[in-house]
Amino acid sequence: MVILLLMMATAFMGYVLPWGQMSFWGATVITNLFSAIPVVGKAVVTWLWGGFSVDNPTLNRFFALHYLLPFVLIGVVVLHIAALHITGSNNPLGIEPKSDKDTVPFHPYYTVKDLFGLSIFLIFYAAVVCYNPNYMGHPDNYIPANPMSTPAHIVPEWYFLPFYAILRSIPSKLGGVCAMFGAIVMLLVLPWLDRSKVRSALFRPTFRAFFWIFALDTVLLGIIGSQPAEEPYISIGQFATFYYFFHFLVILPLLTKYEKTLQLPNSISEAVLKKV
């Protein structure tokens, strides 16, 4: 959860640095969300800006934080690896190891697996950076920032679109901010919402079906977030937002109580050796 928030903050502040139209107005919109805080909201926004509008002090602060936060992120990742070293890694079957046959050393098995996944990612990353760097950008961001000219359609980068759709699906400004941050908090309280003793979706067919519905709902929120704030996108966004929270607050607790799961193997090694 902490890693996710740090990544989102780092990405947002990096998006502001080009100081184009979308960067400037995106920073204005997002920082203005803090004005929804009762009593101290406007003071918080002024403190974030370093003045009475998004300007050079804001840009200098965001540049410094965009440089600093990755080091904080590295520190959190090191803590995560240390915790992983103590507790051990999970497995696709979701079964607790019962003997040495159920475990493998971190090196070379996990290191090679992670390096392979990283290599695949870097191939796609290099393809975008080297051959089509503007594919996921917005053309308006090539226009220098102009506080006197508001873009017709302000949207964040694609990785923020689902949360942006949730934000604007609530008519109230404070309600929209609470819903957007609540969508992130849902991931923090997930262990208390889904208390099923079976931790793998391989043995939970009903959960697996609802998971894919939830995944499609998240994609739909991303699409709606990129569209203008008009009908039918407003109604679709409100429905998708409702289902997002309905999945966490209603479906998962009900599945925990009523879902019939498949029979679990006695051990990890037994399940693996059956396939050999």
Alpha-carbon dihedral sign for residues 90, 96, 99, 101: negative
Which two three-digit tokens encode residue 128?
A: 């975008």
The string of DSSP letters for 113-152 reads HHHHHHHHHHHHHHHHHHH-TTTTS-GGGGSBP-TT---S
For the annotated catalytic residues, the residue numbers are: 85, 89, 113-114, 157
Whole-angstrom distance, CA of residue 231 vs CA of residue 46: 34
By the 10 Å C-beta count (0-12 exposed, 13-18 middle, 19+ buried), 162 is classed as buried
- Is residue 158 within 8 A of residue 222, CB to CB? The reply is yes
- Helix (H/G/I), strand (E/B), else coil: 195: coil
Whole-angstrom distance, CA of residue 77 vs CA of residue 88: 15
